[in-house]
């Protein structure tokens, strides 16, 4: 397994974690109504979107020809 493929796997797990935790906090906000849960949810969902963009454009960002 090349280093780029290993990096893709790690970024994929990070996307799953950020998306899952963002949804978990969103559910917590719906149940409790605490504002901090909404802020945390927005942060982690934004991180998931940013990491998804990074993964999609990984070759171009790292300037790698595969």
pTM here is 0.85
Domain limits for position 23: 3-62
Average pLDDT of span 7-31: 96
Query: In angstroms, rounded to a whole number, what is the distance separating the alpha carbons of residues 34 and 5?
Result: 39
Average pLDDT of span 50-58: 93
Tokens of 50: 């940013």
Choice between 63 and 50, residue whose per-residue pLDDT is larger = 50
Predicted pLDDT at 1: 66
Total domains present in the chain: 1
Q: List, as one string, the DSSP characters of the chain.
A: --HHHHHHHHHHHHHHHHHHHHHHHHHHHHHH--HHHHHHHHHHHHHHHHHHHHHHTHHHHHT---
């Amino acid at each position: 397994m090349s280093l780029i493929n290993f990096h893709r796997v790690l970024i994929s797990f990070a996307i799953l974690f950020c998306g899952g935790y963002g949804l978990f906090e969103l559910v917590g906000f719906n149940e409790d109504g605490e504002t901090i849960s909404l802020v945390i949810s927005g942060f982690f969902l934004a991180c998931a979107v940013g990491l998804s963009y990074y993964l999609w454009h990984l070759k171009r960002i790292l300037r790698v020809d595969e």
